[in-house]
Amino acid sequence: MNYKEIDIEVLLDIAVKAGDAIMEIYVRDFAVEIKDDKSPLTEADKKSNAVILEGLKKHYPAIPFISEETKLTPYAERKNWNRFWLIDPIDGTKEFIKKNGEFTVNIALIEDGVPVVGVVHVPAQNKTYYGVKGEGSFKFQIPNSKFQISNPVHYSAKQKVVVVASRSHLSDETLQFVEDLKAQGKEVDFLSSGSSLKFCLVAEGAADVYPRFGPTMEWDTGAAHAVALYAGKNVINFETKQPLVYNKENLLNPFFIVE
Protein backbone atom coordinates (compact mmCIF):
# COMPACT_ATOMS: atom_id res chain seq x y z
CA MET A 1 0.00 0.00 0.00
CA ASN A 2 1.15 3.55 -0.75
CA TYR A 3 -0.37 6.97 -0.24
CA LYS A 4 -2.47 6.71 -3.41
CA GLU A 5 -4.49 3.98 -1.73
CA ILE A 6 -5.29 6.10 1.31
CA ASP A 7 -8.90 7.30 1.42
CA ILE A 8 -8.70 10.99 2.38
CA GLU A 9 -12.36 10.95 3.40
CA VAL A 10 -11.54 8.32 6.04
CA LEU A 11 -8.73 10.48 7.44
CA LEU A 12 -10.92 13.58 7.48
CA ASP A 13 -13.63 11.66 9.33
CA ILE A 14 -11.13 10.39 11.93
CA ALA A 15 -9.74 13.90 12.45
CA VAL A 16 -13.21 15.42 12.87
CA LYS A 17 -14.22 12.71 15.36
CA ALA A 18 -11.05 13.41 17.34
CA GLY A 19 -11.93 17.10 17.22
CA ASP A 20 -15.44 16.41 18.49
CA ALA A 21 -13.99 14.46 21.42
CA ILE A 22 -11.66 17.39 22.17
CA MET A 23 -14.48 19.93 22.08
CA GLU A 24 -16.56 17.95 24.57
CA ILE A 25 -13.73 18.53 27.05
CA TYR A 26 -12.87 22.06 25.85
CA VAL A 27 -16.23 23.48 26.94
CA ARG A 28 -15.88 22.36 30.56
CA ASP A 29 -13.26 22.42 33.29
CA PHE A 30 -10.39 19.95 32.89
CA ALA A 31 -7.20 19.02 34.71
CA VAL A 32 -3.72 19.74 33.32
CA GLU A 33 -0.79 17.39 33.92
CA ILE A 34 2.85 18.30 33.30
CA LYS A 35 4.87 15.72 31.36
CA ASP A 36 8.54 14.91 31.91
CA ASP A 37 9.53 17.37 29.17
CA LYS A 38 7.59 20.10 31.04
CA SER A 39 4.90 20.28 28.35
CA PRO A 40 1.23 20.21 29.40
CA LEU A 41 -1.10 17.24 28.93
CA THR A 42 -4.88 17.09 29.28
CA GLU A 43 -7.52 14.39 29.04
CA ALA A 44 -8.36 15.87 25.63
CA ASP A 45 -4.90 14.93 24.31
CA LYS A 46 -5.45 11.37 25.52
CA LYS A 47 -9.00 11.11 24.18
CA SER A 48 -8.05 12.50 20.78
CA ASN A 49 -5.12 10.08 20.58
CA ALA A 50 -7.41 7.13 21.36
CA VAL A 51 -9.94 8.15 18.70
CA ILE A 52 -7.23 8.61 16.03
CA LEU A 53 -5.46 5.32 16.77
CA GLU A 54 -8.73 3.39 16.85
CA GLY A 55 -9.66 4.77 13.43
CA LEU A 56 -6.27 4.21 11.83
CA LYS A 57 -5.92 0.70 13.20
CA LYS A 58 -9.40 -0.17 11.91
CA HIS A 59 -8.81 1.06 8.37
CA TYR A 60 -5.04 0.67 7.97
CA PRO A 61 -3.87 -1.97 10.46
CA ALA A 62 -0.62 -2.69 8.60
CA ILE A 63 0.76 0.87 8.82
CA PRO A 64 2.77 1.61 12.00
CA PHE A 65 2.57 4.97 13.75
CA ILE A 66 4.40 7.55 15.80
CA SER A 67 2.25 9.66 18.12
CA GLU A 68 3.19 12.28 20.67
CA GLU A 69 0.99 10.58 23.25
CA THR A 70 2.09 6.96 22.71
CA LYS A 71 5.33 5.30 23.78
CA LEU A 72 7.86 5.65 20.97
CA THR A 73 8.91 2.55 19.03
CA PRO A 74 12.70 2.05 19.37
CA TYR A 75 14.73 3.53 16.51
CA ALA A 76 16.30 0.14 15.77
CA GLU A 77 12.83 -0.97 14.66
CA ARG A 78 11.29 2.17 13.20
CA LYS A 79 14.35 3.14 11.13
CA ASN A 80 13.26 0.38 8.73
CA TRP A 81 9.79 1.83 8.26
CA ASN A 82 9.35 3.29 4.79
CA ARG A 83 5.79 4.33 5.63
CA PHE A 84 4.12 5.35 8.88
CA TRP A 85 1.51 7.61 10.42
CA LEU A 86 2.78 10.66 12.31
CA ILE A 87 0.22 11.95 14.80
CA ASP A 88 -0.20 14.90 17.12
CA PRO A 89 -3.60 14.51 18.82
CA ILE A 90 -3.55 18.17 19.89
CA ASP A 91 -0.91 20.54 18.59
CA GLY A 92 -1.16 23.69 20.65
CA THR A 93 -2.13 22.22 24.01
CA LYS A 94 -1.17 25.57 25.56
CA GLU A 95 -3.66 27.27 23.23
CA PHE A 96 -6.27 24.65 24.19
CA ILE A 97 -5.70 25.40 27.86
CA LYS A 98 -5.99 29.16 27.18
CA LYS A 99 -9.21 28.42 25.27
CA ASN A 100 -8.25 30.67 22.36
CA GLY A 101 -9.26 28.16 19.67
CA GLU A 102 -5.84 27.95 18.00
CA PHE A 103 -5.14 24.24 18.38
CA THR A 104 -5.21 21.45 15.82
CA VAL A 105 -5.55 17.71 15.25
CA ASN A 106 -2.71 16.49 13.03
CA ILE A 107 -2.46 13.24 11.05
CA ALA A 108 0.28 12.72 8.45
CA LEU A 109 1.40 9.81 6.33
CA ILE A 110 5.17 9.81 5.88
CA GLU A 111 6.83 7.87 3.06
CA ASP A 112 10.63 7.66 2.87
CA GLY A 113 10.99 10.67 5.17
CA VAL A 114 8.55 12.90 3.24
CA PRO A 115 4.97 13.85 4.23
CA VAL A 116 2.77 12.62 1.38
CA VAL A 117 -0.63 13.10 3.05
CA GLY A 118 -1.48 15.51 5.84
CA VAL A 119 -4.71 16.49 7.62
CA VAL A 120 -4.86 19.49 9.96
CA HIS A 121 -8.26 19.87 11.66
CA VAL A 122 -9.08 23.00 13.66
CA PRO A 123 -12.03 21.88 15.81
CA ALA A 124 -12.76 25.18 17.56
CA GLN A 125 -12.92 26.98 14.20
CA ASN A 126 -14.87 24.37 12.23
CA LYS A 127 -12.27 24.14 9.48
CA THR A 128 -9.90 21.54 8.12
CA TYR A 129 -6.88 21.67 5.83
CA TYR A 130 -5.38 18.75 3.96
CA GLY A 131 -2.65 18.15 1.43
CA VAL A 132 -2.00 15.12 -0.78
CA LYS A 133 1.01 14.58 -3.03
CA GLY A 134 0.01 14.90 -6.65
CA GLU A 135 -3.41 16.36 -5.82
CA GLY A 136 -2.70 19.64 -4.04
CA SER A 137 -3.92 21.21 -0.81
CA PHE A 138 -7.46 22.06 0.19
CA LYS A 139 -9.44 23.81 2.89
CA PHE A 140 -12.83 22.83 4.24
CA GLN A 141 -14.89 25.42 6.07
CA ILE A 142 -17.77 23.62 7.74
CA PRO A 143 -20.63 23.23 6.91
CA ASN A 144 -19.83 22.44 3.30
CA SER A 145 -17.39 24.69 1.47
CA LYS A 146 -14.23 23.13 0.03
CA PHE A 147 -11.67 24.86 -2.14
CA GLN A 148 -8.11 24.36 -3.26
CA ILE A 149 -5.43 26.54 -1.68
CA SER A 150 -2.16 27.59 -3.30
CA ASN A 151 0.55 30.14 -2.54
CA PRO A 152 3.44 29.58 -4.97
CA VAL A 153 5.05 33.06 -4.77
CA HIS A 154 8.19 33.17 -2.60
CA TYR A 155 8.24 35.91 0.03
CA SER A 156 11.51 37.30 -1.37
CA ALA A 157 9.61 38.40 -4.48
CA LYS A 158 7.21 40.55 -2.45
CA GLN A 159 7.63 44.13 -1.30
CA LYS A 160 5.18 43.65 1.58
CA VAL A 161 5.79 40.48 3.59
CA VAL A 162 3.43 38.98 6.16
CA VAL A 163 5.44 36.99 8.72
CA VAL A 164 3.52 34.54 10.89
CA ALA A 165 5.04 33.48 14.20
CA SER A 166 4.14 31.65 17.36
CA ARG A 167 1.85 33.19 19.92
CA SER A 168 3.54 31.22 22.70
CA HIS A 169 7.16 30.93 21.45
CA LEU A 170 8.46 34.20 20.03
CA SER A 171 12.27 34.04 19.86
CA ASP A 172 15.01 36.63 19.42
CA GLU A 173 15.99 34.89 16.17
CA THR A 174 12.48 35.44 14.80
CA LEU A 175 12.65 39.13 15.66
CA GLN A 176 16.04 39.29 13.92
CA PHE A 177 14.53 37.62 10.83
CA VAL A 178 11.93 40.40 10.71
CA GLU A 179 14.60 43.08 11.15
CA ASP A 180 16.61 41.56 8.29
CA LEU A 181 13.59 41.79 6.00
CA LYS A 182 13.12 45.43 6.95
CA ALA A 183 16.81 46.06 6.24
CA GLN A 184 16.16 44.80 2.70
CA GLY A 185 13.63 47.59 2.33
CA LYS A 186 10.57 45.38 2.75
CA GLU A 187 7.43 46.38 4.57
CA VAL A 188 6.72 43.72 7.19
CA ASP A 189 3.40 42.85 8.79
CA PHE A 190 3.36 40.50 11.74
CA LEU A 191 0.71 37.84 12.23
CA SER A 192 0.56 35.82 15.45
CA SER A 193 -0.97 32.36 15.62
CA GLY A 194 -0.74 29.15 17.59
CA SER A 195 0.05 25.56 16.66
CA SER A 196 0.40 24.11 13.14
CA LEU A 197 -2.10 26.70 11.94
CA LYS A 198 0.92 28.85 11.03
CA PHE A 199 1.85 26.45 8.20
CA CYS A 200 -1.73 26.56 6.96
CA LEU A 201 -1.83 30.37 6.96
CA VAL A 202 1.22 30.36 4.69
CA ALA A 203 -0.30 27.61 2.53
CA GLU A 204 -3.50 29.57 1.92
CA GLY A 205 -1.74 32.90 1.37
CA ALA A 206 -2.85 34.67 4.56
CA ALA A 207 0.87 34.84 5.43
CA ASP A 208 4.00 34.72 3.28
CA VAL A 209 6.61 33.07 5.50
CA TYR A 210 6.87 31.27 8.84
CA PRO A 211 10.32 31.25 10.44
CA ARG A 212 10.55 28.78 13.33
CA PHE A 213 13.67 29.31 15.40
CA GLY A 214 12.63 27.31 18.42
CA PRO A 215 12.10 23.66 19.38
CA THR A 216 9.46 21.54 17.66
CA MET A 217 9.03 17.81 17.28
CA GLU A 218 8.31 15.89 14.10
CA TRP A 219 4.68 15.28 15.11
CA ASP A 220 4.21 19.04 15.46
CA THR A 221 4.99 19.63 11.79
CA GLY A 222 4.35 16.52 9.65
CA ALA A 223 0.69 17.05 8.71
CA ALA A 224 0.95 20.80 8.21
CA HIS A 225 4.19 20.32 6.23
CA ALA A 226 2.13 18.34 3.70
CA VAL A 227 -0.50 21.09 3.52
CA ALA A 228 2.19 23.71 2.87
CA LEU A 229 4.18 21.54 0.47
CA TYR A 230 1.28 20.71 -1.83
CA ALA A 231 0.16 24.35 -1.81
CA GLY A 232 3.48 25.31 -3.39
CA LYS A 233 5.58 26.07 -0.30
CA ASN A 234 8.79 24.50 0.99
CA VAL A 235 9.75 23.66 4.57
CA ILE A 236 13.48 24.19 4.77
CA ASN A 237 16.07 23.31 7.41
CA PHE A 238 17.49 26.73 8.30
CA GLU A 239 21.07 25.43 8.58
CA THR A 240 21.31 23.10 5.58
CA LYS A 241 18.67 24.72 3.30
CA GLN A 242 17.40 21.19 2.63
CA PRO A 243 13.80 20.03 3.13
CA LEU A 244 12.78 18.88 6.61
CA VAL A 245 12.91 15.07 6.88
CA TYR A 246 11.08 12.68 9.19
CA ASN A 247 11.74 9.57 11.27
CA LYS A 248 15.14 10.71 12.50
CA GLU A 249 16.66 8.94 15.48
CA ASN A 250 16.05 12.12 17.47
CA LEU A 251 12.59 13.41 16.58
CA LEU A 252 13.48 17.01 17.46
CA ASN A 253 13.24 19.24 14.38
CA PRO A 254 16.00 21.67 13.44
CA PHE A 255 15.15 25.37 13.07
CA PHE A 256 13.19 25.77 9.85
CA ILE A 257 11.42 28.19 7.55
CA VAL A 258 8.12 27.65 5.73
CA GLU A 259 8.63 29.68 2.56
- What ranges do the domains of the chain cover? 3-149, 155-258
Q: What is the mean pLDDT of the chain?
A: 94
pLDDT at 134 over 90: yes
Q: What is the pLDDT of residues 211-244, one digit of tens each?
A: 999 899 999 999 999 999 999 999 999 999 999 9
Confidence band for 144, pLDDT divided at 50, 70 and 90: confident
**What CATH class has 155-258?**
alpha beta
Class of domain 3-149: alpha beta
> In the chain, which residue ranges form alpha helices assigned H by DSSP?
8-26, 43-59, 75-78, 93-98, 172-183, 197-203, 218-229
- pLDDT, residue 168, reads 62
Closest CA to 150 of 129, 126, 166, 168: 129
pLDDT for residue 129 = 98
Beta bridge partners of 188: 161
User: Can you say whether the dihedral through the CA atoms of 75, 79, 80, 83 is positive or negative?
Assistant: positive
Model confidence at 100: pLDDT above 80? yes
Q: Measuring CA to CA, which residue among 120, 140, 123 is closest to residue 199?
A: 120
Cα separation, 227 vs 119, in Å, equals 7
Give the model confidence (pLDDT) of 203-217 as tens digits. Answer: 999 999 999 998 999
**Spatial separation of the C-alpha atoms in residues 41 and 209, rounded to whole Å:** 29
Residue 167's pLDDT is: 63
